[in-house]
Structures are given as C-alpha cells and as structure tokens.
Chains A and B, each alone.
Chain A
Amino acid sequence: MLAFNFFGATEGGLFDINATLPLMAIQVVALTYILNSLFFKPVGNVVEKREKFVSNNIIEAKNKLSEVKKLEADLLTQLQSARTEAQRIVSEAENESDKLYKEALELANNEANASKEKARLEIESQTSAARDQLSKQADDLSELIVNRLILEK
C-alpha cells in the first residue's frame, strides 16, 4: 500500500476526465506500433507467404493437369492411328493368306484333276484292252463251239 501513498484526495465521479485521457491515447498508439512489429507484420508475412505458396501450387497443379490432358489426348490419337494401322495390316495379311490359300487350292485341284484324268484314261484303255481280249476270247470260244458242233455231226 506504500506504493500508492502518492494518491490524492478522492473526488471526481464517473465522468471525471483528466490526464488519463491523453496518456491512454499515447499508450494505445504505442501499443499499435508494438503490436504491428510483434504481431501483425510477422504473422502477416507467414500467412501471406503460405497463401502465395498455396496459390502457386494450385496454379502449377492446374498447368500440370492441362499438360496431362493434352498428353492424354495426344496418346489417344496415337492409339487410334495405331489401331487403324493394325487393322489395315491384319486385313492385308488376311487377304494375302486368302489369296495364297486359293492359289494352293487351285493348284491342288488341278493336280488332282490331272491325276484323276490320267487314271481315268488308264482305266479306259485297260477296260478297252480287256474288252478286246474278252471279245477275242469269245470269238475263239464261239469258233471252238461251232467247230465241235460241226464235227459231231
């Protein structure tokens, strides 16, 4: 209580305006400067740095995304052309094999026909030879029969 020995007589009331007012104003102005250097500036720097960092990252991510989309579209067209190319090659190969098959088939058919024809000719010649021989034998036999009949009479 000794510290407050310099207080004066009590007076005043609620609306007692005195030097407290300007001193309080000075105190608040000083506080503004102190808080500015202690609080508003440092915290603001950190927050704004982070906001910048985040917005930069967002922009970068957006750029990358658009790049990825571009590449994707690029790849898609490449894939498309590769597919049509593949289809073309496949159909070409199919045609080729079809042609080869047909050729081979025709060749085989021809060969078969030729051998068939040859066989047929051979069979025919043999048949006719056999027939000649048979008719000759029949002649001989008939002659023999006739001779015997005549002789018996």
Chain B
Amino acid sequence: MFFNSLLTNFAALEVGQHLYWQIGNIRLHGQVFLTSWILLGALLVFISLGTKKMDNDPKGLQNLLEFLWDYIRDLARTQIGEKVYRDWMPFIGTLFLFVFVSNWGGALIPWRLIKLPSGELGAPTADINTTIALALLVSLSYFYAGLSNKGWRYFEYYVHPTPIMLPFKILEDFTKPLSLSFRLFGNILADELVVGVLVFLVPLILPIPVMFLGLFTSAIQALIFATLAAYYIGEAVEEHH
C-alpha cells in the first residue's frame, strides 16, 4: 500500500513530460518558453529600472548593476584577455545572466503551484534543448572569434604544439558543447528532482538545506558556464608564439 502510494508520488514528479505547443508542423516545449519569458521579463524590468536614471554617484539599483557589470567584465577580461574581451563581454554576460536567472528562478519560485495540463513549470535550464542551444552558441562563438581574429591561422591551434594533437583537438570541438550542455542540464535537473522527491517524502524542514544547496549549485553552474564559454573564446583568440 505504502509502496504503491510512493510510486504514484514519484509519478507525480512528471519527469520528462512536457507541455507541447504545436505551431505548423514544429513542436515546442511550452513550459520552457513560459518560464523563460517570465524570468527574462523580470530580468529586463529589473535592469530597465536600474539603468533608468544613471548618475555619476551610483544610488540604489545602479550600484547592484554596476557591481554585476564589473563582475562580468572581470570574468571576461581574465578569461579572454585584454585585447578582445570588450567584443565578447555582452555575450558572456548574457550567458551568465540567462543561466543564473533561469537556475535561481527555477529554484526560488514555487512553479508547482501553477497547474499545467501536461508537464510542469521549472527552470528553463533543466530542459536539454535550452542547454544544448546555449552550448552550441558557445561553439559557434569561439569558432567565429578565432576565425575573425586570426583568419585561417586559427587552425594552427589544432596542431599546436605538435600535429599529434590534431585528433584530440578535433574531438574537443565535440566534447566542449557536450560537456557544457550536459553539466548544466544534469545539475539543474538533479537539483529539481532531489528537492521534488524530498518535498514529497518529508514535506517539512528537511528539504530546506537541500534547497539552499540547490541555490548554491545554481549560482556555481551559472559561473562555470560563463567562465568556460569565456575560456573557450579566449583559447580561440590566443596568439601562439
């Protein structure tokens, strides 16, 4: 009896179920877009409020936004290098903000209270489509960064320091997006599942430390994603001597 109810409870987690939107003959995961629009809308409102009246003496929200900007600049500058970090700072910053807002929004807002006909709302980064999209954008970016900065000499990177490295470097181009996307996806999904299971089993108190751990992991994952993206771009534009 107990075992049976446990199973139904687990079933209530609805792992791998989606709210499908059908537009023409393409299908979308609606819950991902819904949460991402809500969270990005909140982010944009927050940023517009903070940048509305900017002053040389920062006050209130402007302080926070400047801190954030400085943090992202430091991240981009240390990984990409003084020469081209300016071009890539918006991209790195957007990745960081998107992943961070998605992770924290997924963890902090009680989405479960909103009932959907199928699937459930949650962090957009807990969907493999989102993380693969981000990872592929990073791949495109570092190829573009390398080619636009060094032209065909970018491919010297593949035989640097010796041609023996060639197969490994080619393999890396596939493992980079794979590891980026699965790391983020796995961490956020696992966090959501652990919290979900704990909430069903012991609804009081016990899930709270795990939720805090989840917030910590979420922030770290955003930092890791942005740092790695910046590192890959930095690696592509780096000059070998």
Q: Is B a genuine binding partner of A?
A: yes
Interchain Cβ contacts within 8 Å, total number: 140
Chain A min CB distance to B5 (Å):
23
B interface, over-half SS: helix
A interface, over-half SS: helix
Within 8 A of A (CB), among B4-42: 15-22, 26-30, 32-33, 36, 40
Q: In the complex the two chains form, is A7's CB within 8 Å of B90's CB?
A: no
Closest A residue to B129 using CB positions: A20
Query: Does B78 sit within 8 A of A, measured CB to CB?
Result: no
Which of the residues B29, B90, B134 comes within 8 Å of A36, measured between beta carbons?
B90
Report the separation of the CA atoms of residues A32 and B141 in the bound assembly, to the nearest whole angstrom: 12
Q: In the complex the two chains form, is B93's CB within 8 Å of A40's CB?
A: yes
Which of the residues A16, A18, A32 comes within 8 Å of B16, measured between beta carbons?
A16
Q: In the complex the two chains form, is A14's CB within 8 Å of B129's CB?
A: no
Q: In the complex the two chains form, is A39's CB within 8 Å of B56's CB?
A: no
Query: Does A89 sit within 8 A of B, measured CB to CB?
Result: no
Query: Does B167 sit within 8 A of A, measured CB to CB?
Result: no
- How many interface residues does B have (CB within 8 Å)? 55
Report the separation of the CA atoms of residues A1 and B149 in the bound assembly, to the nearest whole angstrom: 51
Report the separation of the CA atoms of residues A24 and B134 in the bound assembly, to the nearest whole angstrom: 8
Query: Does B69 sit within 8 A of A, measured CB to CB?
Result: yes
Closest A residue to B24 using CB positions: A19
Query: Does B147 sit within 8 A of A, measured CB to CB?
Result: no
- How many interface residues does A have (CB within 8 Å)? 41
A interface footprint on B57-94 (CB within 8 Å = 1, 0 otherwise): 01000100110011011000000000000000111011
Assuming the contacts A1-B117, A10-B119, A38-B47, asked whether A21 and B129 have C-beta atoms less than 8 A apart, the reply is yes
Chain B min CB distance to A115 (Å):
93
Q: In the complex the two chains form, is A39's CB within 8 Å of B65's CB?
A: yes
Report the separation of the CA atoms of residues A24 and B137 in the bound assembly, to the nearest whole angstrom: 10
Query: Does B97 sit within 8 A of A, measured CB to CB?
Result: yes
Q: In the complex the two chains form, is B26's CB within 8 Å of A28's CB?
A: no
Query: Does B148 sit within 8 A of A, measured CB to CB?
Result: no
Which of the residues B16, B26, B33, B118 comes within 8 Å of A13, measured between beta carbons?
B16
Q: In the complex the two chains form, is B69's CB within 8 Å of A24's CB?
A: no
Which of the residues B32, B65, B94 comes within 8 Å of A20, measured between beta carbons?
B32
Tell me the A residues contacting B by CB distance below 8 Å.
1, 4, 6-25, 27-29, 31-32, 34-36, 38-40, 42-44, 46-47, 49-50, 53
List the 9 closest pairs (A to B, CB-CB), nearest first: A20-B129, A13-B16, A25-B133, A19-B26, A36-B90, A24-B133, A8-B20, A32-B94, A21-B129
Tell me the B residues contacting A by CB distance below 8 Å.
15-22, 26-30, 32-33, 36, 40, 44, 47-48, 51, 54-56, 58, 62, 65-66, 69-70, 72-73, 89-91, 93-95, 97-98, 116-119, 124, 127-130, 132-134, 136-137, 189
A-B contact pairs, 29 of them (CB 8 A): A4-B19, A4-B21, A7-B21, A7-B118, A8-B27, A13-B16, A14-B16, A17-B132, A19-B27, A20-B29, A20-B129, A20-B130, A20-B133, A21-B129, A23-B28, A24-B32, A24-B36, A24-B130, A24-B133, A28-B98, A28-B133, A32-B90, A32-B94, A36-B94, A38-B51, A40-B89, A42-B51, A42-B54, A46-B54
